[in-house]
Amino acid sequence: MKLLLGFCLVLLLSASNCSKQPGIYRDNPHVPDSTNDPYLDQQWYLGPEGANVKAAWEITKGAKDVTLGILDFIFEKDNRDFPINGQTCSSRSYEFVSQNGNYDLPLYHGSNVAQIAAACTNNGFGIAGVNWYSPVIAYDIGSHHMVVEKSIPLLLGINPCDAQDSNAFKECAQLVRNVDVLSTSFTLKEKLDISSPSKDNFNLFLYAEKAMSSGSKVWVAAAGNEGTSMELVFPNAIPPVITVGSTNRTGLRWDRSNFGRRVDIMAPGEDIAYMQRGSLVYEGGTSFSSPLVAGIVTLMKSVYPKEEREKYWNWKVAKYLIQKTARPMSCAQLCPDYNTFNNYKCQDIWCGDTATPPGLVDAEAAVKAAQMGLPKVPLIDTDKYLLIADNIIPHQTVSFSLRVFNRGGAKGRVNISSKHANISINQSTFDLDAITGPNASINIKIEVKTSYWGLQLGFIDIKAEGINNNDPYVDRHEVWVAF
């Protein structure tokens, strides 16, 4: 199994064609200089030309009752800005869980990216994190896919081990944590290879589905750095995951950032500063854009009205607010002419009349929107993100039950369809109350016809628009069907 990372290393003493050393950033005069981290002026991506995080700090710097999880690999053992070896940080707590034991290797991908979201801030050293105060749980996943499969539900509060194996179950139980926001900076392409799909392809998907089905967790993931269209890769293909692409310092999509229908938001990913072995280092890539957005989501949850948070905060709300408040990006910004073939692909996806291209994240606007509570639009979710047949017999009809929820604050008219000829839906149009109403969910029946050609893959498309609602927003959701 191959972990594909979202970064391009640029050390201070080296030259590279993927990034350049940034200049000094001049602080926004309207934001008080309230941190003594010496390299804050090198963090251009926190300013108004980046993700506008410094302006958001005037509203919140985070809360201790919102926990951030970083699922990655290879963490630096002694790093004052991400202390995981018993060192103290006055502003927050750090917990480190290792299933790998990789210390003191040349590449510290885990602690490098984690600092962007949650560096120990105002400690007179290094850089500032997006979030100053929220507790952090860092999981070192190693490089084996079974560790990845189990670590995801463990961090999201679920024991993935077989209860019939009491020893394994108890061992897993000791590792269960319950984070509010999860950040990952890797993709696993071969785990969702649909050229010859098998049930084994979907193990990670099913683990993630179980962990995310409550709706209250938010998972932010990097889009990857191949500079091409990314569609069916893990974890980005899972509907609840907020996928983040990268922009450069001039506001264009970073040349190596992946693009496509599954990219939800863009964030700075060039010349990102962090501390390694006591020195300032710069890198670029979506590995850094993901924790940047994850940190912003923790700020959003910190100010979300507490009386609504337990019932009404969910991944759909977080994704909607992030996208609704983003600064629009033009076709020319999203699809610059880095490569003619990929540029045409990018334009086909993001520049058409019916396209919904991502914008550049705006932390201040997102935090202000989160203060308002539940959005007054329909937001569709389902109890399953993958429907998969247990026993596949050729030319038989297989039935599934799917529960559809409205997690938004306005009544919605829902339309369900599929382009696959072998998938039929018993009720394609219906209305759902807002999440506060008595009829905010419904069970529908899905039927599929199998064939002789092995496992097939299809999709169910769900759209919802408000009823008697002035907001023209149309929500979209997708469910996989494997049969």
Q: What is the CATH classification number for the domain harbouring 327?
A: 3.40.50.200
Distance CA 121, CA 54 (A): 13
Q: Are residues 261 and 388 in the same domain?
A: no
Question: For residue 113, what pLDDT is reported?
Answer: 96
Question: For residue 6, what pLDDT is reported?
Answer: 53
Q: Are residues 333 and 244 in the same domain?
A: yes
**Which residues touch 289 (CB under 8 Å, ≥6 apart)?**
6, 222, 223, 244, 245, 246, 247, 257, 266, 267, 268, 269
Least confident stretch, 101-110, 289-298, 335-344, 468-477:
101-110
Q: C-alpha angle 429/434/440, rounded to 5°?
A: 60
pLDDT single digits (tens) 267-293: 999 999 999 999 999 999 999 999 999
Element (H, E) at 245: strand 241-247
Across 352-379, average pLDDT: 93
Q: Are residues 388 and 352 in the same domain?
A: no
Q: Which domain holds residue 301?
A: 4-371
Residue 425 has pLDDT above 50, yes or no: yes
Nearest-Å Rg of the Cα atoms of the chain is 22
Q: Are residues 187 and 236 in the same domain?
A: yes
Q: Are residues 114 and 191 in the same domain?
A: yes
Residue 172 has pLDDT above 70, yes or no: yes
Residue 218 has pLDDT above 60, yes or no: yes
CATH code assigned at 430: 2.60.40.10
Q: Are residues 388 and 299 in the same domain?
A: no
Question: For residue 377, what pLDDT is reported?
Answer: 96
Q: Are residues 212 and 322 in the same domain?
A: yes
Give the residue from 353, 371, 389 where a domain finishes.
Answer: 371
pLDDT single digits (tens) 240-252: 999 999 999 999 9
> What does the block give as tokens for 125?
């050293």
Q: Are residues 426 and 341 in the same domain?
A: no
Q: Are residues 343 and 393 in the same domain?
A: no
Q: Are residues 326 and 441 in the same domain?
A: no
Distance CA 82, CA 288 (A): 15
Q: Are residues 82 and 216 in the same domain?
A: yes
Q: Are residues 55 and 190 in the same domain?
A: yes
Give the residue from 319, 352, 371 where a domain finishes.
Answer: 371
Give the residue from 371, 403, 426 where a domain finishes.
Answer: 371
Domain count, the chain: 2
